[in-house]
Structure 1
Amino acid sequence: MLNMFNRLSKKCLAALLLLSAAASAYSAPKTVLVLGDSLSAEYGLARGTGWVALAEQKLKQNNIDAVVVNASVSGETTSGGRSRLPALLAKYKPDLVVIELGANDGLRGLPVAAAQTNLRAMSDAAAKADAKVMLIGMRMPPNYGRDYADKFFAMYGTLSKEIKAPLVPFMLDGVAEKPQLFQPDRLHPLAEAHPIILANIWPTLQKTIKAK
């Protein structure tokens, strides 16, 4: 009888430990890694006023337990992001990687196919690290030529379908057409524009992080 009691006790203890581990895993905050360029790196802005910081605040307001790591660098290209991502994945072990890259490739007139290859490689690296990917798209100004601008914009939609990643088609929707919302360089939005940018990104971000 005593042996039976001991066996039952051990089984109960094991079950409790499993439940405790499961609860801890469930309650652990999710990590969101934002890999972007100056549009996400708060270029020319006071710290904490860019859309990434605003997104972290909104996650908390909506009781979504998540830590946001902003690994964005001004001037970053898809090639640079591809080079930096493996170390970031190893360090932060994110649940979600938000990729906001490509604008600097476009502004430099780099081949669209090369940018797409880099974005695909970043998606593959994230998938191997068990992280979901979310893409944020960009448009080129009309002075870059209709053909290049169309191919550049279409790249995000094509890749989104290929890798089955949620996409925000154009982060500057509602901002790009308003010069008063930009810094003197006419490239970087003012702080007043970032709530609009977040409004474009938030529905997809919220849905994606909840699904992970």
Structure 2
Amino acid sequence: MLARLKKYTVGALAAFALAASGSAYSAPKTVLVVGDSLSAEYGLTRGSGWVALLEQRLKAQKIDARIVNASISGDTTSGGRTRLPALLQQHKPNLVVLELGANDGLRGLPVNAAEDNLRSMISLAQKNHAKVLLVGMRMPPNYGRAYTERFSGMYKELAGELKVPLVPFMLEGVAQEPANFQADRLHPLATAHPTILNNIWPQFAPLIKE
């Protein structure tokens, strides 16, 4: 009886020590990526897009995180706004990466509507106790100076208003070179996705490491 009690006490103390340390039983953080074809590996071999590369980098750096890529090719800010509540409820993310707006811009949709949709998504994620990283986009110059400046400025305004970190332009260092794109001239080749990840990582890393 004494031996059994001693064994139980030692086991209980060991379990308490592990629990107190926090590291042994801490759940991995969940990262929810809500984007369009630029994040959904459109035209690419599975596992070669920037989201898959992000997952690989997290593992290489021994950062315990689970990536949920909820990106859909062709999605707009309106579509993302519609989908987000269910995604938040299902996955309960610690961090939400919002990469939307490109399709709004390419279709010439009103910037005010896209801005309102993104604002709603950011606010909803924050109300659900998730940090948010906003990923910005720019439109080609043929859309006119007024529209392109208003479009790119939308992301900066939202980031400042809602106090979220911003990747100003996810295709920085990619968009400037036509050889980086698939035949449609819209979607980057797999070889360009490491650059995309490097554009996103400096803003992403502090959020996931906190």
Q: Are the structure 2 counterparts of residues 94 and 146 from structure 1 closer, same or farther at C-alpha, using a change threshold of 3 Å?
A: same
1:79-90 alignment runs, 5 A limit: 79-90=78-89
Provide the residue aligned with 2:41 in structure 1: 42
1:129 Cα deviation after fit:
1.0
Opposite residue 200 of structure 2, the aligned amino acid is I
TM-score normalised according to structure 2 size: 0.90
Q: Which amino acid aligns with 2:149?
A: D
- Aligned counterparts, 1:1-212, within 5 A: 20=19, 23=22, 27-211=26-210
For the residues of structure 1 that align with 2:124 and 2:18, how far apart are their CA atoms?
Answer: 32
Please, what is the CA RMSD of the aligned residues?
A: 1.8
Q: Which amino acid aligns with 2:92?
A: K
SS of 1:171's equivalent in the other structure is coil
Question: TM-score, normalised on structure 1?
Answer: 0.89
Relative to structure 1, the CA distance from residue 193 to residue 21 in structure 2 (aligned partners, 3 Å threshold; closer, same or farther) is same
Distance 2:178 2:16 in 1: 59
8 A contact 2:97–2:132 mirrored in 1: yes
| Deviation digits for residues 125-164 of structure 1 (CA, Å, limit 9, x no counterpart) | 1011111110000000001000000000000000001111
Identity %: 68
| Number of equivalences | 198
The answer (yes or no) to whether the contact 1:35–1:71 under 8 Å persists in 2 is yes
Tell me, yes or no, if the aligned pair for 1:98 and 1:136 is still in contact at 8 Å. yes
Map Cα deviations across residues 152-182 of structure 1 (whole Å, 9 max, x no partner).
0000000001111010000000000111110
**Unaligned ranges ≥5, structure 1:** 1-12
Structure 1 residue ranges (4+ consecutive) displaced by more than 6 angstroms after TM superposition:
none
Distance 2:148 2:179 in 1: 23
Work out whether residues 18 and 24 of structure 2, in 8 Å CA contact, stay in contact via their aligned partners in 1.
Answer: no
1:47 is aligned with what amino acid?
A: R
